[in-house]
Amino acid sequence: MLGHFSTDPCSNPRSNIRADQHLSLEAGHDGLTAAWGWSVFWNGPYSDPFPWCERLARHQGPWVALVKCDPTTKWFATLKQACTNDAPFNHRLKFERPDRPSLTANFPSHLFWHWWQPSAELATHLWLPTYAVRP
Protein backbone atom coordinates (compact mmCIF):
# COMPACT_ATOMS: atom_id res chain seq x y z
CA MET A 1 0.00 0.00 0.00
CA LEU A 2 2.97 2.35 0.43
CA GLY A 3 4.24 2.20 -3.13
CA HIS A 4 7.84 2.11 -4.32
CA PHE A 5 10.79 4.06 -2.88
CA SER A 6 14.38 4.68 -3.87
CA THR A 7 15.77 3.83 -0.43
CA ASP A 8 14.80 1.95 2.71
CA PRO A 9 17.70 2.98 4.99
CA CYS A 10 16.62 0.77 7.94
CA SER A 11 15.74 -2.39 6.10
CA ASN A 12 16.12 -5.98 7.23
CA PRO A 13 15.81 -9.38 5.55
CA ARG A 14 12.09 -9.56 6.50
CA SER A 15 11.20 -6.19 4.95
CA ASN A 16 8.24 -6.06 2.57
CA ILE A 17 8.98 -2.51 1.44
CA ARG A 18 9.45 -2.10 -2.29
CA ALA A 19 12.67 -0.12 -2.74
CA ASP A 20 15.59 0.05 -5.16
CA GLN A 21 18.09 0.20 -2.28
CA HIS A 22 17.70 -1.74 0.99
CA LEU A 23 20.28 -0.72 3.59
CA SER A 24 20.57 -3.00 6.61
CA LEU A 25 22.93 -3.57 9.50
CA GLU A 26 22.87 -7.30 8.70
CA ALA A 27 24.39 -6.49 5.30
CA GLY A 28 26.97 -4.16 6.87
CA HIS A 29 25.31 -0.86 5.89
CA ASP A 30 25.04 2.26 7.98
CA GLY A 31 21.77 3.66 6.66
CA LEU A 32 22.13 6.84 8.67
CA THR A 33 25.31 7.96 6.90
CA ALA A 34 24.86 6.22 3.52
CA ALA A 35 23.65 8.10 0.45
CA TRP A 36 19.88 7.98 0.07
CA GLY A 37 18.00 8.00 -3.19
CA TRP A 38 15.28 10.48 -4.10
CA SER A 39 12.38 8.89 -2.18
CA VAL A 40 12.78 7.30 1.26
CA PHE A 41 10.73 4.97 3.44
CA TRP A 42 11.92 4.93 7.04
CA ASN A 43 10.86 2.70 9.91
CA GLY A 44 13.89 3.18 12.06
CA PRO A 45 15.22 2.11 15.42
CA TYR A 46 13.04 3.08 18.34
CA SER A 47 16.09 3.05 20.61
CA ASP A 48 17.51 6.29 19.14
CA PRO A 49 15.28 7.79 16.42
CA PHE A 50 16.33 11.43 16.79
CA PRO A 51 19.38 11.45 14.43
CA TRP A 52 17.27 9.69 11.80
CA CYS A 53 14.47 12.23 12.19
CA GLU A 54 16.95 15.07 11.77
CA ARG A 55 18.24 13.44 8.56
CA LEU A 56 14.70 12.99 7.23
CA ALA A 57 13.89 16.61 8.03
CA ARG A 58 16.84 17.68 5.83
CA HIS A 59 16.04 15.23 3.00
CA GLN A 60 15.13 17.07 -0.20
CA GLY A 61 12.99 14.36 -1.78
CA PRO A 62 9.75 12.66 -0.79
CA TRP A 63 9.81 10.57 2.36
CA VAL A 64 7.56 8.49 4.57
CA ALA A 65 8.23 7.64 8.21
CA LEU A 66 6.41 4.90 10.12
CA VAL A 67 6.95 5.47 13.84
CA LYS A 68 5.62 4.73 17.28
CA CYS A 69 3.07 7.40 18.20
CA ASP A 70 4.88 9.38 20.90
CA PRO A 71 4.08 13.11 20.62
CA THR A 72 5.89 13.90 23.87
CA THR A 73 9.35 13.45 22.32
CA LYS A 74 11.70 15.80 20.51
CA TRP A 75 12.12 13.37 17.58
CA PHE A 76 8.32 13.27 17.05
CA ALA A 77 8.20 17.08 17.07
CA THR A 78 11.06 17.17 14.54
CA LEU A 79 9.11 14.96 12.13
CA LYS A 80 5.90 16.91 12.74
CA GLN A 81 7.60 20.17 11.85
CA ALA A 82 9.32 18.75 8.74
CA CYS A 83 6.44 16.81 7.21
CA THR A 84 3.79 18.02 4.80
CA ASN A 85 1.20 15.77 6.45
CA ASP A 86 0.80 13.06 9.04
CA ALA A 87 -1.81 10.80 10.59
CA PRO A 88 -2.07 8.14 13.26
CA PHE A 89 -3.22 4.67 12.30
CA ASN A 90 -6.77 3.85 13.34
CA HIS A 91 -5.72 0.42 14.69
CA ARG A 92 -2.59 -1.25 15.99
CA LEU A 93 -0.39 -2.62 13.24
CA LYS A 94 0.17 -6.32 12.75
CA PHE A 95 3.59 -7.57 11.71
CA GLU A 96 4.51 -10.87 10.15
CA ARG A 97 7.61 -12.64 11.42
CA PRO A 98 8.72 -16.19 10.75
CA ASP A 99 9.06 -16.91 14.46
CA ARG A 100 5.82 -15.19 15.56
CA PRO A 101 3.16 -14.75 12.85
CA SER A 102 0.60 -11.96 13.31
CA LEU A 103 2.56 -10.08 15.95
CA THR A 104 0.64 -6.93 16.96
CA ALA A 105 2.46 -3.74 17.90
CA ASN A 106 1.95 -3.00 21.58
CA PHE A 107 1.77 0.73 20.85
CA PRO A 108 -0.12 3.02 18.46
CA SER A 109 1.68 3.85 15.22
CA HIS A 110 1.90 7.09 13.28
CA LEU A 111 2.73 7.90 9.65
CA PHE A 112 4.53 11.11 8.66
CA TRP A 113 5.13 12.07 5.05
CA HIS A 114 6.70 14.81 2.99
CA TRP A 115 5.86 15.36 -0.70
CA TRP A 116 4.01 12.04 -0.81
CA GLN A 117 0.39 10.96 -0.52
CA PRO A 118 -1.01 7.69 0.82
CA SER A 119 -2.98 5.51 -1.55
CA ALA A 120 -6.76 5.44 -1.10
CA GLU A 121 -6.42 1.93 0.34
CA LEU A 122 -3.82 3.00 2.90
CA ALA A 123 -5.86 6.09 3.79
CA THR A 124 -8.65 3.84 5.08
CA HIS A 125 -6.24 2.71 7.81
CA LEU A 126 -5.34 6.26 8.91
CA TRP A 127 -7.16 8.88 10.94
CA LEU A 128 -7.48 11.53 8.25
CA PRO A 129 -10.11 14.28 8.51
CA THR A 130 -10.70 14.30 4.74
CA TYR A 131 -9.19 12.44 1.86
CA ALA A 132 -9.53 13.41 -1.77
CA VAL A 133 -8.53 10.81 -4.35
CA ARG A 134 -6.50 12.33 -7.14
CA PRO A 135 -7.94 11.74 -10.63
pLDDT in tens, 33-62: 999 999 999 999 989 999 999 999 999 999
How confident is the prediction for the chain on average, in pLDDT? Answer: 91
- Beta-strand pair 40-42/63-68: parallel
The per-residue pLDDT for range 72-114, each reduced to its tens digit, is 999 999 999 999 999 999 988 876 666 766 667 778 999 999 9
Domains in the chain: ranges and CATH = 4-123 (3.40.50)
Give the model confidence (pLDDT) of 9-35 as tens digits: 999 888 889 999 999 999 999 999 999
* Neighbour-count burial of 112, counting CB atoms closer than 10 A to its CB (0-12 exposed, 13-18 middle, 19+ buried): buried
What is the pTM assigned to this prediction? 0.88
Collapse the DSSP code of 57 into the 3-class scheme (helix H, G, I; strand E, B; otherwise coil) and give the result: helix
